[in-house]
Structure 1
Amino acid sequence: MATLNDSTDEAKTLVEMEQMLSSLREEYRKVQNSLIECEQKYEILQASVDFDELPEKSFVRRLVMNTRELFESEIFSDLTVILDGHEVPCHRYVLAARSDCWNFSAMANMTALNFDNISYNIGYILLKWIYTDEVDHRLDEVMLIELMQVAKRFKLSQLIERCERLLIACVDKKNCIELYKHAYELNAPRLMESAASKIYSFRNEMSPDRFDILPGVLLHELLESKFKYPLHEAILLQRKDAVDLCLADKGPKLCNRLNELMNVHGDCPLALALASRQEATCRTLIDHGADVDAKSRNGDTLLLYFLKKQDYWACEFLLQHAARLDCVDPVGGGNLLHVLAACKAESATDKEILDSLIQRFLSGGISAINSTDSHLNTPLHLSIIHDNMALFNGLMKIQQLDLEILNREGLPALWYALAKNDAEFQYASALVSRGANFNAIRPRSGDTLLNLCVIDGLLEAAIYLIKKGASVDVPNAKGETALYLASSSGLDQLVQILLNSGANPNVQTKENRDTPLHVAIRCIYTHVIDSLLGEKAGSNGCRRVPLLFEIYNSNDDSALSLAISLGFYSVADKLIDFGADVNAKMPDGRSLLLRFISNGTVEGALYLIKKGCCPTAVESNSPAPLFLAIEHGVTSVVSALCQCGADLAAKNANGDSPLWYALCSNHESIADILVEHGADVDCWSTGPNGCMQTMLHRAIDENDERIACYLIKNKCDVNAIRKEGPCGSGHSEAVEKQTPLHMAATWGLLDVVSALIAYGASINAQDSEGKTPLHLAVINQHLAITERLLQSHHIDLNMPDKAGLTPFAWAVQGKADQICVAILKRNPQVALQVDSAGYNVLHNAIKKQDFELFLFLLSVRVDVNVRTQDSERLSPLHIACRVGNDLIIRNLLCAGSRINDTTSSKQTALHIAAQNDKAFVCSILLENKIDATALDNEGNNALHVAVQYGSLECIQTLLTESNINPFLTNSKGYGILHLLGLFGKENAASILVSIKCIIPNYPIEMPDPDGNTLLLFAFMNENYLLCREAIRAGACVGVCNRHFVSIFNYPMSSPKLLFRILDQLDHEPKWAEGDSCSDRHCGRLLCTKCSEHFLPILKYDIPKPVRVCNVCYDVLTSGVMMLEVAILLSFV
């Protein structure tokens, strides 16, 4: 079908090309006509050019036009032309103008002109051209040639040239030879050249018989002019006349021409003549000196060339003319015998000639009987390869013939004889009888001839060699013996013969270390396996070497393991029946069971277990079968091992039980099988620091929720506590007393916590620190776990640890806002729980000024009026006022804190703020309408407290921003100045100044119930600055209380303070009230008995002497410094 399509495409292409060529010819004709018209116009113009008038009106132009109109016209006709019986009116002057044949003298007396031997059509075309100078370009080549012949007859050179041009356009492959002949006859050189060029172009497409129309001379001229090898072409055209003309040249050119090579094949003239069997031409060439031993372009002599082509006639001809026999094939490298070996005779004649050639070549002086070609083949090799029995027999008669020469493939002639595999082994028998070596070895592969026969499946040839006594155990380079090769090819008959001939079935190959049994199993050759096993059993009594089953190849496969690996269980059954051991050890010490498990050969492992393989065998450096099966996730193998009694309590090298190992390997289906067969879900083992722990402890400790949940769901001990190990190891872990729930809560294992709760774990169990699982979840801020624990109805939220902290307290301490929300949502009352100091979380948050926690507690609506559970009974507002955090105070007030709540000592928040000198707090409280007049247990209002604790700014705030009574005395009768004198600190003087500024008329000498004034208390407390400011404010220096104690008689360790006070008096003080006179310096009451000293007091502007006491006298006369020195000396 494809050939038909190709032919159709070629035909279509050829038609298209012919159409294109026809179109080109038509265009060429049009161009020719246009050229002719142009030439005509040019001639007319050239003849009629007159610069004074237009060409159209010239005489010549008018003459030409009138002559055209006279064609076939009677007007002015003076001559009749007879054309094939037709009369055509003509004009003598027109004919005379065209040719000298019709000049006026010749036709002076003529009235009629007969164009004899001219057809009417040709004559008519001729006359039309004479008058109009026109020739129809559509005329075919026959009419143009006839017209051209007539034109030559009447010497019309212009018409001849016109026809020649038109014919040139008609030249093609079909008519080029004919046109070439006509051109020669008509002497049309241009047409002749065109036709010759076309002939040259299409020479290879033209048959020789087309050139028969050309005379020998003309053909010779054509070949000499256009072709590079005219002699070759003449021989190819089989033109003996042209060949003779080519050989006519006797010069040196002839010698070159005779032996000149032509075309890509390098054919010389003699080769061309011999190929076409032109015997006469061949003899002519040889007679003229052609070389019978000429070589082709590739170096072949003529004899070698034609012998390769199996042209025995040519060979015979060359030998008759003394061609040489010692030539060598330049391509194959052999001699004529090598070439002759491949020759065949198709006919009886050819056979006769071929036999003659063989005899001639063998007896014709060829000494190289054992020579080799480029493939190192001898003629003997090739005679067998090409089944040339005649040559083979001829060679075998020669004693010098070498039978053991190896060709490039490393093969002797005997191999090719064996490869014939004929029933009678004619070639092989002849060679063996002549002494050929049937144990020859091929160097490249090391194969014997027997091996090669097995490889190529030459069963009969292999049997032939065995019968001849060939060696059966010679391995090749790969270590393959004939038995191995036969086993690998499934030749069970040959296997039996080899075994019967003593072949060793245990020989291993070098690379794969396979035995014949290995390869037979791999290739599933059951008959070969049966033959090998039958040999093992000694069924035929010819066993020489026992068949061994424990031979391992490079993959550590024995015959049994290989059969099982490949799934050939029927073969494995046979092997076991014949003695193969299912518990055999591989070279690495592992059993077959371990190997199949590790390789994932499940069916193989199950097969071995079924066949009685030991499931508990312990092997060095190898895991037990059960652990290996778990490692590889082989569920069916694990189940089989469990059913066969595998030890479920065994430990691997890492101390893991099978169940733990399965769970760690993500094989829960295997774990189910183990549990189903009684595996211990607790399995106590060594844990951290040598303690004893269950698998649940270990799973939680390793954060493996999946394993832990599995163990819990399979009813392990959910409340187990780690124990001490042998010799007391792991004591620290054991004393922690943490249950699995404690550990899961610590590590944040939500799924484990859920599972433990669901399966009955003790939710309120306490560890050694008293912490419950909820404590640990809160401490580690595991929100999800905390929420899950809170979902339990049995959770105890009020259980404190040994530090006294509940889970909620830990949540607050850890600022776990979401956990706090969750706990309060579960039980809002937990926020009221107090620590050992009596403080709840809100109290502590305020105390620590943890604003975020404080706001959080407010957001969960914690009671802001709950008091501390201590002796003070402080409210959150009290604590906030104590720490002085205005934001907390304002938020408390906004949250509904009662502003006037009092402590156990009846102090309000204002008292506490005043006590702690928090003036801005006092302002906040006063802004929020706190009762400033409230009194504590001692009758003190906030102002009393502020004065007592020296809170200057608070005093100012209270006096300026509140309605507090500054004159109020407490339950002891003390006013604010008494308290200032009693408790005054460094700033007491500033406080007094501030009070006097705010209340200028404040009574400075207000006495307490015992008559003590500010000055007395300040002096008693040795507060010099306060004493000074009191005196400046108008306090009486000499005043006495109800016990008659004054600053002058109050026992002091040193009178130094008194002296300083008196010395600082800068104006006369207020006098003490009484019946006696007063000291004009200090103002106290005196009598003549008390002092007799009188002296002027200049600092008071008292110039005259006045009464002063003894103390004042000493101060005024001696000065304070001298008195202090005297005091010091008195101590000394």
Structure 2
Amino acid sequence: MEELRKDLRRLQSRVSELQNENSVLRATLGKESTSFCSRLMEFVKQLHLSDQFSDIKLKTPERLFPGHKFVLSARGGLWSFDSGGEFETVEITGFTQSVCEALIAWVYKGEINRSEDATFLCEFINLAKLHELTDLVLQCEFLLGMLLTRSTCTQIYEAAFTAKANCLLERSFSILSEAWSTISTEELDKLSPQVLCSILEKQSSFPLHDAIKLDRTDVAVLLLEANPVELRMLVNLLDQPGLSPLYLALQRDNFTLAEQLIRCGADPNLLIGPSVNKQPTGHFALLNNHFTAVRFLVDHGYEVDSCLKDSQATLLHLLVANGSNNAHESAQLDLARAILDKSISVSAPDGNGRTPLHIALLHNSKAMFDLLLEQPERFDLDAADRLGCPPLWFALVADFGDTSTPSSHAYGFADQMFSDDPPLSRSYAASLIRAGADVNFRFGSTLNGDDNHTIEAAGYSFPKDGDTLLMACARCGLESGALFLLQPQPNCSAAAVESTNVSGETVYHLAVESKLRTLSHCLATVHRADPNQFRIRTVTTNEPNFTKVSLNSLFLQLIATSCYELKPL
């Protein structure tokens, strides 16, 4: 009997517990009941925004509401009580007024009215997390999961990230990842740095590069700070197109970030670009007309005398090849000055043996040409390229040639070189002569074409072995150029008239043979050229022959072909 009584008491106790639990559940679910729990829950609901029994004030961004400390304590969570004023307050701020009021309503009523509004719920879950209301966070997480779509995935991901709702975070990232190619920059711009950093680290193989492309310096800085051990490797990593973070920052004129990347170990001389044709960063930037980027690199340790592997072109070669009178000329000149200040080998030849002076002449870069000649002592003014041509020869062709001069394309002159209207001012050759170029330069025997232009295909008379510049002008039909060389220049005598080449030819021979009447007359009358001087012409047979040809015979040919009338002196 005693045992039966004990079992009965235990069963009665369990029944009471179950009845209490039932009452609580019914009250929680809003079921009508006359139980104590139901009446208590109903009483608390009636206290919402009521002054009855109010012992604190609930402070929201715009209003104060009556509150009840015992209700907050019963709900649990984290509440900050302030007793410093006229009455004790609890601050519920940091979010919109409607969200703060909704939290107060949930504390008293346990209800979420706007359960299908994703924007509202994203704020609501973060306010719940701030006050450590676990039950409310779980409710919001469930409701937001029901609202996940392509259009809401970024917004919900940010809310889940901030609230540390991991299950919701994974679900929203899954949708975001699938739709990544359709996510717009505007959508990503709305995300906080931490959230976007989290997405890029999960989604991208090159998060730092992508952050820079999105113009999110804040995200790039977070990524740099998050990887202190592998920092140098990170800042020199190339993305799929072969571009570095430093170049991408400079491409967008983001010099603040570029400075930070340099401090973190970014190499300004890194080879970038497609794997089949990588180039130093500065050369790559210059070839893409990013002059401010090149200037930054030059000021931060770029090796200005480095050259491209295939063409051996330095920065200075590439810069002067841009030509004159373009929209970027001022920036180009400033950059050229910076390069000249740091360069050790300003006169270094490229793969075709051409110095920056050659290139400036070929591309009609007048402003660059004048800038280079401000320091003539740093240049070899008589350096010959692989064709054997010095800058002064190119200057003569540029000054005195025209569209009918076929040598222009063979030498590599820019297409627009002789299309100026009015014609170019005749100043290149004069400037070089004033700077110290040799007017009696002799051509060597290397006229065999360069990498880009073939002499044999030009169908034109080019300077021959041993020709002086004066002879070359006569041979190639540049009569005005020859007449220019015959005039004395400041600090320089006129070109020598009696010089001969390896065949014994003089300029007089060549002027008559080329039917240059004015030049022939000038040589005969002003310079008293010897009409009886012989030259040796080689005739190719089984055995070499040498034929002496006098100027008199050439004159007879000229008379016969052009009816040129020689007047007695």
1:584 is aligned to 2:141: yes
Output the amino acid matched with 1:857.
Answer: A
1:443-482 to structure 2, matched below 5 A, reads none
Which whole-Å deviations, capped at 9, do the CAs of 1:344-395 have from their partners, x for residues lacking one? xxxxxxxxxxxxxxxxxxxxxxxxxxxxxxxxxxxxxxxxxxxxxxxxxxxx
1:858 is aligned to 2:430: yes
1:562 is aligned to 2:124: yes
Q: Which residue of 1 aligns with 2:359?
A: 810
Output the amino acid matched with 1:863.
Answer: D
Which whole-Å deviations, capped at 9, do the CAs of 1:264-301 have from their partners, x for residues lacking one? xxxxxxxxxxxxxxxxxxxxxxxxxxxxxxxxxxxxxx
1:873 is aligned to 2:466: yes
Contact 1:868–1:875 (8 Å) recurs in 2:
yes
Alignment partner of 1:773 out of 297, 304, 315: 315
Output the amino acid matched with 2:280.
Answer: T
Q: Which residue of 1 aligns with 2:339?
A: 789
1:510-589 to structure 2, matched below 5 A, reads 525=65, 527=67, 531=71, 534=74, 552-553=114-115, 555-556=117-118, 561-562=123-124, 572-573=130-131, 575-576=133-134, 580-581=137-138, 584=141, 586-587=144-145, 588-589=147-148
The 3-state SS of whatever aligns with 1:776 is: helix
1:451-850 to structure 2, matched below 5 A, reads 487=48, 489-490=49-50, 525=65, 527=67, 531=71, 534=74, 552-553=114-115, 555-556=117-118, 561-562=123-124, 572-573=130-131, 575-576=133-134, 580-581=137-138, 584=141, 586-587=144-145, 588-589=147-148, 595=155, 608=162, 617-618=169-170, 619-622=173-176, 631-632=189-190, 634=192, 638=194, 650=201, 652=203, 657=207, 659-668=208-217, 671-678=220-227, 680-687=234-241, 692-699=242-249, 711-722=261-272, 733-763=274-304, 764-781=306-323, 782-801=332-351, 803-827=352-376, 829-847=379-397, 849-850=400-401
CA distance in 2 between partners of 1:546 and 1:525 (Å):
13
Output the amino acid matched with 1:878.
Answer: M
TM superposition shift of 1:913: 0.9
The 3-state SS of whatever aligns with 2:118 is: coil
TM superposition shift of 1:681: 1.7
TM superposition shift of 1:815: 0.8
CA distance in 2 between partners of 1:837 and 1:809 (Å):
12
In structure 2, relative to structure 1, the CA distance for the partners of 1:559 and 1:788 (3 Å cut) is closer
TM superposition shift of 1:754: 2.8
In structure 2, relative to structure 1, the CA distance for the partners of 1:573 and 1:837 (3 Å cut) is closer
Contact 1:845–1:853 (8 Å) recurs in 2:
no
TM-score (norm 2): 0.58
Contact 1:720–1:739 (8 Å) recurs in 2:
yes
Output the amino acid matched with 1:675.
Answer: L
The 3-state SS of whatever aligns with 1:831 is: coil
TM superposition shift of 1:813: 1.0
Alignment partner of 2:554 out of 918, 925, 945: 945
Contact 2:396–2:429 (8 Å) recurs in 1:
no
Which whole-Å deviations, capped at 9, do the CAs of 1:133-176 have from their partners, x for residues lacking one? xxxxxxxxxxxxxxxxxxxxxxxxxxxxxxxxxxxxxxxxxxxx
The 3-state SS of whatever aligns with 1:825 is: coil
The 3-state SS of whatever aligns with 1:846 is: helix
CA distance in 2 between partners of 1:889 and 1:667 (Å):
62
Alignment partner of 2:486 out of 893, 906, 917: 893
Q: Which residue of 2 aligns with 1:498?
A: none
In structure 2, relative to structure 1, the CA distance for the partners of 1:485 and 1:523 (3 Å cut) is farther
CA distance in 1 between partners of 2:139 and 2:384 (Å):
76
Which whole-Å deviations, capped at 9, do the CAs of 1:975-1013 have from their partners, x for residues lacking one? xxxxxxxxxxxxxxxxxxxxxxxxxxxxxxxxxxxxxxx
Aligned CA RMSD, in angstroms, stands at 5.1
Which whole-Å deviations, capped at 9, do the CAs of 1:295-319 have from their partners, x for residues lacking one? xxxxxxxxxxxxxxxxxxxxxxxxx
TM superposition shift of 1:902: 1.7
| Structure number, greater radius of gyration | 1
TM superposition shift of 1:652: 4.0
CA distance in 1 between partners of 2:376 and 2:355 (Å):
13
| Structure of greater relative contact order (alpha carbons < 8 Å, 6+ residues apart) | 2
In structure 2, relative to structure 1, the CA distance for the partners of 1:783 and 1:757 (3 Å cut) is same
Which whole-Å deviations, capped at 9, do the CAs of 1:863-921 have from their partners, x for residues lacking one? 32222223532222222223444433332223343242423134332221111122222
Output the amino acid matched with 1:858.
Answer: A
1:61-72 to structure 2, matched below 5 A, reads none
In structure 1, runs of 5+ residues without a counterpart are 1-466, 473-480, 495-517, 538-544, 724-732, 963-1132
CA distance in 1 between partners of 2:168 and 2:467 (Å):
76
TM superposition shift of 1:814: 0.8
Alignment partner of 1:903 out of 493, 496, 500: 500
CA distance in 2 between partners of 1:838 and 1:813 (Å):
15
TM-score (norm 1): 0.31
In structure 2, relative to structure 1, the CA distance for the partners of 1:956 and 1:791 (3 Å cut) is same
In structure 2, relative to structure 1, the CA distance for the partners of 1:564 and 1:866 (3 Å cut) is same
TM superposition shift of 1:785: 3.3
The 3-state SS of whatever aligns with 1:880 is: helix
The 3-state SS of whatever aligns with 1:917 is: coil
TM superposition shift of 1:667: 4.8
Identity of aligned residues (%): 15
TM superposition shift of 1:952: 5.3
Which whole-Å deviations, capped at 9, do the CAs of 1:749-798 have from their partners, x for residues lacking one? 23322332344334323233333333322323444433332222334532
Output the amino acid matched with 1:888.
Answer: G
In structure 2, relative to structure 1, the CA distance for the partners of 1:807 and 1:915 (3 Å cut) is same
TM superposition shift of 1:548: 5.2
Output the amino acid matched with 2:338.
Answer: R
User: Between Structure 1 and Structure 2, how many residues are aligned?
Assistant: 414
Contact 2:249–2:258 (8 Å) recurs in 1:
yes
The 3-state SS of whatever aligns with 1:734 is: coil
TM superposition shift of 1:855: 2.5
TM superposition shift of 1:685: 1.9
Which whole-Å deviations, capped at 9, do the CAs of 1:895-949 have from their partners, x for residues lacking one? 3432424231343322211111222221233343232346134575533332356
Contact 1:686–1:693 (8 Å) recurs in 2:
yes
Which whole-Å deviations, capped at 9, do the CAs of 1:488-547 have from their partners, x for residues lacking one? x435669xxxxxxxxxxxxxxxxxxxxxxx99999664626853873799xxxxxxx997
The 3-state SS of whatever aligns with 2:237 is: coil
The 3-state SS of whatever aligns with 2:373 is: helix
Q: Which residue of 2 aligns with 1:924?
A: 522
CA distance in 1 between partners of 2:283 and 2:321 (Å):
12
CA distance in 2 between partners of 1:911 and 1:757 (Å):
52
The 3-state SS of whatever aligns with 1:650 is: helix
Contact 2:235–2:265 (8 Å) recurs in 1:
yes
CA distance in 2 between partners of 1:559 and 1:651 (Å):
25
Contact 1:616–1:647 (8 Å) recurs in 2:
no
In structure 2, runs of 5+ residues without a counterpart are 1-33, 78-106, 324-331, 403-423, 446-463, 537-547
The 3-state SS of whatever aligns with 1:809 is: helix
In structure 2, relative to structure 1, the CA distance for the partners of 1:823 and 1:910 (3 Å cut) is same
Contact 2:236–2:244 (8 Å) recurs in 1:
yes
Contact 1:914–1:943 (8 Å) recurs in 2:
no
TM superposition shift of 1:486: 6.4
Output the amino acid matched with 1:768.
Answer: D
